[in-house]
Structure formats: structure tokens, C-alpha cells
Chain A
Amino acid sequence: MISLEKRLESNISWVLFVYSLACIVGFIFTAFLLWSSGTDIPKAFFALYKGSLSSKKAIFSSLNYATPLILTGLATVVAFRAQIWSIGQEGQVYAGAMSAYFASLMFYGAPLWIHLLLVIAFGALGGALLGVLSAVLKNKFHVNEVISTVMINYIIIFFLSYMVGGGPWTEISDVNTTVYQQSDPVADYSKLPYLFGSTKLHLGFLLAILSAVACHFLIYSTPFGYEIRAMGHNPVALGHRGTNTHKTLLYILILSGAIAGLAGVTEIFGTSHRLKSEALYGLGYTGIIVGMIGGLTPLGTIIAGIIFGGLASGALYMKVLAKVPAALVPTIEGMFLLFFLCAGVAARYKIVVTGKDV
């Protein structure tokens, strides 16, 4: 008889096997979707490869797309590991971008590295402040964090729309296009420096990797990390241990918000070089998927982020070269999420073959 038993300890070979299987099944279903939409399947997969991995330029492009996703994925990891279901990453990305943009105007003229550090710090601060707001609503008024973060997302997105759509940060062009949904370009010296001679990959990628390493250390090697994990397992027991769970929740949401805020900084000062909504749209929500696929671990999030970055870079090539319908790309991402979540569950179980049932 074959049965499933929960594993007491994880087995790395089994984990690798189930995640590889999820990948293969994901690609098979992708092929099916492509076929059902009348797309040339080999051409589509070749376009995906060409756009994501085929050259140094493609790889840099993938890593560039991955940068904000790794950060919003990490923001998800920090919150979700404590079973705090914050959906606020989207708004925190916007808040981080706005706050950093404010700093870039405020500290214009400061020495280069001090200026950049202030821009990055303010970005983190902006995201963190939104985290504080959700934490206060939860701690003081028992507002469910799912509700509060989603509502705050709307508020901050519309606030940005006001600021760049007629408000004080609206671009004033010299050619009479006076009202549009974007700010003036950021100053050249506010831009995050490019890495490795690329015109795509910027300092933000290093920031994302450093953040992931720092999160890994924090979660697995510090008392606060223990509290995050304990809160996820049993907040009541954590409270009985003497931990102030309200404070822990506040710190977790501050940290999560700060990391998501950094994603806004990297996108505005590394890639789009203007504050505008369309550059930030969806980064937070996609980060939730990335964090989940990464198994809610910082290092897994790097891998998931790079996979999604590759998908984003390759998706463009699929659309342009293989005429893959735009709607299929998020469908493919969603499908991979589903299979990876299944793999995550399967990784915790083992197949046991026993003798005859009696």
C-alpha cells in the first residue's frame, strides 16, 4: 500500500525533485496554453530563451526585471513568515518611490554618495511608514491587515496620481504638455549607477541581493528572526514567553515595508528615471507570488525573483517575436505559482510503501 506521511525533516533531494517536477509540469502546461492560442510553440520558447538567457544583454535585462521583484518578494517573506498577511507591498513600493523622489529633490546638491544614500534611506522610510500605519490599525483597532493594507494601497496609488497628475510633482514640459502622469526626470546624479558596463543592470540589484542575505541572517540567526518564525507558528505561545507580540508585529511590518520601499527606489532611480505610476504598477503584487514561490525563504526568493525576471524579459520577446497574446503571460506566471505551491506542500511529505493492508 502507498501512503503519504509528513516528513519530520526536509530531504534536499526530494525537495529538488518536486520543484523540478513543478517546473517541468509548468512548462508542459505553458506549451498547452500556447498551442491553444494558436502560437508556434518552439518559436515561443525560443523567444523566451532569447529574451532571458541567450546573451549577456538578455541576462542583464532579466536581472534588472528581477531586482524589484526580489525586494517585494523579501518584503512578503518577512511578513508572511510571521503569518501577517500583508498585501501592502504594492502601496509600499509607491510610498518608497515617492519618498525617495522627495529626498532626491530635497538633498539635491549633496555629495554624490551621500545623496544616493539619503535617497535609498528615504525610500525605505517611506515604505516603513506605511507598515507602521497598518501595524497601528491592527494593534490599536484590530483592523485585519489584509483589509488595511489593500485600502492603504489604493490611497497611496491615488496620492501619487494626484502628485504627478496636476499636483506639485507634475512634469512641466517646455513643449506645452503641461499635465501628465509623470514627474520631471530625476537628476543624472540621482540615478543608481550601472553595473558591469551594462546599460540595464544597476546598483539596485546588489541592494536586492544584500537585502536577501541580510534577511536570511536576520530570520535564521537573530532573536528577532526567531520571534518572526515563532509568531508564524504560534503567536499565543510567543506571548506567553514574554514577547510583546504587538511590538513584534510593528517591527515586522516596518521591516517589510522598508524592503518594499527599496523596490520603488530601484525602479525609479535605476530604470525609469521618472516618478510615474506605470513603472511601479504590479511590482508589489508580483512580489507576493515571488515570495511564495521562493518558499518564503530569502534565498529561495532570489531564485524565484530571477526566474520571474527572466520570464518578464522573455515575455516581451514572446509577445514581439512569437506573437504570444499578452494575457497568456500572467496566466503562465499564475500557473507556475500554483505548481510551485503544490511542490511546496509535496516537499513536506514523503511517499511510503508498506506491506499489504490488513
Chain B
Amino acid sequence: MIKIKEFFKLIVLGSVVTFVLGLMHILHAANTKDVNIAIILCCGVESPWDATMVESMERVKQAKPHGLNITYEYTEPIYGDAVMDAMTLFAESGDYDIIICHMTCSDMVQRINKDYPDVAFVSVGSGNSSKGGNEYWIYKRVHEAAYALGVLAGHMTESGVLGVVGTFPADDVNDEINAYFAGARTVKPDLIQKVSFIESWYDPGKAAEMTSAQISMGADMIFTLASNFAACEENNLLCFGNFADESHYSPSTHLSAPIAIWDRDITRIIDGWFDYKENGVPQNGNTEMMWTSMKDGGAVVAPFHGLADRIPANIRKIFDNTVNDIMSGDLVVELDVSEPKSD
């Protein structure tokens, strides 16, 4: 039989252990109140691709997932092999919990991620792969929003010729161009499509040349993925931008754009990292391509701003219905990543 003295000893010991464990938990939890994120940009914050990531990060910061205080910083444009040096530099400093490389860089991530197991490494977009663990991969498709804008363009074009100025013919570029034309063809099956690629991820000069060329071939609405509206202004045409709302560049011509929203993707990475830090659950980055649909908040269509009056009410209604159908899941936009060609 246990003596009373021993019984009290056990109670005291148990209390001390509980207290220490509780304290450890509190201290451990205190360590995961903050998360510091580095974003390596490819093209500069003025480019839509990079701008949307930074904007999304700011929204996630305000949302404070898990009550985390998020601090982040982004770099000047870095590309090529220097990206690996930049990632190593951030990881070595020990100041960053998540390193987002906003471009094709999984080759480089896979060379260094095992050396920094506490850090979550993220590659973004096409040309990547992921082996999981502390390596994550974010993908983006805005083809559903592009489809809706295609429907709009199909109704509004007078010449029946639609032009698209693309960057490179890549998987996540082709998808939205094809969807745009598919949307337009639901209205005008005999539509003529013109496609040019500037062979650069960001070159507004080349974009202007290509846009002018398409206009001279009869296109009266241009979907530009390459951020230049000068030719649209010169010809007084309505144009669509891509990825970000760039209407401030050209309020008189920028009608709308499919917009990339990364909030869900960023939150998913933070969730994985937080679970690892807080609960010791090993990081389990996705090995398959993951993208968030329009219905789930992965993309939206930019507002028409001051040009809403240029859209006839009946066409506006058709457009709104298309968007609503996509959002409700009644309309599933086909994913076509084949390289689009001019007619």
C-alpha cells in the first residue's frame, strides 16, 4: 500500500511534470507566433505576375492565419542560377521560415532544401516539380476567368478577329489563351484568332510591337499577357490585361483581366509549416501540381472600372451569367494546354 508521504510525493512530481510540459508547450507555442517569409521575384514587383503574389501576401498577412504575425520581404528581380544563391542566402541567415521562389526553380530547391529542414521552400508556376517534404509547389490557372472574358470579347468584336499577345507558349500561358478563344467561339464560331508570343516573360517594348501587328491584321480586341496598352490607346481599342488589374496604366482601354489570387496557396504553405513547427508534424509538401479554381478563390475577373458603360447591358448580363455559372460549378471550362496558333 502506498504511504501518504509517497502519495504526496507522486502528486508533487506529477504537478511539476505537468507544469514543465505546460510551460514547454507555452514556450513552444510562443515561438510560432511569427513567420518570416522571403519572396524571390523573377521580373519585378511592377510585373503582374510578381505583383499579384505580393498583393496576396499582404492580404494573408492581414488575415493572420493561426494568429501568426507575418513579416515578409521580396527581392529585386533575380533569375537564372543566381536564384539558388539567393535561396541559400536567405536559408543560411536563419531568419526566414518560408522561402518562396516565384518562378521555375525546383531544380535549385532540390539541391539545397535538405540542408535546411526547418525551412519551407516553395516553387511557383510551370516548369517545376516537387519531391515533397519541405518542398512545395504552387500552380496557377486563370483559364476560367479568361474564358468568361472570351465570351465578352466574342460579343463585342466587330471585325470577328481577336488577338492575343502571349509571353512564352508555356503550359500556364496556353491554358488561358485557349480558354479565351473557346469562350469567344461560343458566341462566334467562325472567329479568326491571332496569337503572337513575345518570347520573354516581361518585355513591354516587344509587346507593343506585337499588339500593333495584330491590330494591323484586323484584330479589334487584344488580350495582352505582356503588359503594354500603348497600341490599344493609339488605335482606341478595348484590351484585356492579364494576372493583375492594370487599368491604372490605361484607364481608357483596359477593360478587364483575369486576375490571379494566391491567398489560398500561401495559406496552404503556412498551414504545413505551422503544423510542423507547432505540432512536430513532418512537412509534407505536395508532389503533384495543385491549383485553385475560380470557385475556390484562385482567380477573379477584374472590375470594368470606368469602362463598364462601354458594355451593352444585354452582353453584360450574358457575361455575368457566365461568371456565375463558373462560380457555381454549372459551367466547367475545359483545360486545353496545347500551343495556340493563329488562324
Contacts and interface: CB of A to CB of B under 8 A. Distances in A.
B67 interface: no
A272 B80 contact: yes
B80 A323 contact: no
B290 to A, nearest CB: 10
Contact of B85 (A158, A176, A273, A313): A313
B337 interface: yes
Given A165-B169, A177-B127, A180-B126, A274 B107 contact: yes
Contacts of A185: 107
Interface in A146-171: 157-158, 161, 165-166, 171
B86 A320 contact: yes
B158 interface: no
Nearest to A283: B80
Contact of B199 (A158, A179, A313, A320): A158
Contacts of A161: 168, 199
Contacts of B130: 175
Contact of A317 (B89, B129, B168): B89
A181 B76 contact: no
B77 interface: yes
Contacts of B128: 177
B201 to A, nearest CB: 9
Given A61-B85, A272-B80, A182 B199 contact: no
B86 A316 contact: yes
Contacts of B170: 165, 179-181
B44 interface: yes
A319 B199 CA distance: 26
Contacts of B44: 326
A217 B291 CA distance: 58
A178 interface: yes
A171 B85 contact: no
B16 interface: no
Contact of B80 (A51, A177, A281): A281
B339 A166 contact: yes
Contacts of A173: 127, 129
A63 to B, nearest CB: 13
Given A176-B289, A274-B107, A320-B75, A181 B81 contact: no
Interface residues of A, number: 38
A323 B89 contact: no
Given A165-B170, A278-B80, A279-B80, A273 B107 contact: yes
Contacts of A271: 81
Contact of A180 (B77, B82, B104, B287): B104
Interface in A262-278: 271-274, 278
A323 B38 CA distance: 13
Given A175-B288, A279-B80, A326-B76, A180 B127 contact: yes
Contacts of B126: 177, 179-180
B322 interface: no
Contacts of A324: 76
A321 interface: yes
A325 interface: yes
B307 interface: no
Residue among A166, A323, A324, A325 facing the most chain B CB atoms (10 A cut-off): A166
B76 A180 contact: no
A324 B78 CA distance: 12
B174 interface: yes
B34 interface: no
Interface in B165-200: 168-171, 174, 199
A358 B79 CA distance: 62
Interface in B243-287: 287
B177 to A, nearest CB: 12
B80 A165 contact: no
Interface string B77-114: 11111100110011000000000000010010001000
A61 B84 CA distance: 11
B135 to A, nearest CB: 13
A316 B171 contact: no
A179 B339 contact: yes
A274 B105 CA distance: 12
Interface string A271-311: 11110001101000000000000000000000000000000
A321 B107 CA distance: 24
Contacts of B171: 176-180
A316 B80 contact: no
Contact of A321 (B89, B104, B129, B287): B89
Contacts of B339: 166, 179
Nearest to B170: A180
A325 B76 contact: yes
Contacts of B287: 175
A274 B110 CA distance: 14
B127 A323 contact: no
B33 to A, nearest CB: 26
A165 B168 CA distance: 8
Contacts of A178: 171, 337
Contacts of B129: 173-175, 177
Contacts of B107: 185, 273-274
Given A166-B169, A177-B128, A180-B127, A316 B89 contact: yes
22 contacts: A157-B199, A165-B168, A175-B288, A176-B171, A177-B128, A177-B171, A178-B171, A179-B169, A179-B171, A180-B126, A180-B171, A181-B170, A182-B104, A182-B127, A273-B107, A274-B107, A279-B80, A313-B85, A316-B78, A319-B75, A320-B75, A321-B89
The 5 A-B pairs at the shortest CB distance, nearest first, are namely A326-B76, A180-B127, A319-B76, A316-B82, A177-B126
Given A177-B126, A180-B126, A320-B90, 5 more contacts: A173-B127, A179-B169, A271-B81, A272-B80, A326-B76
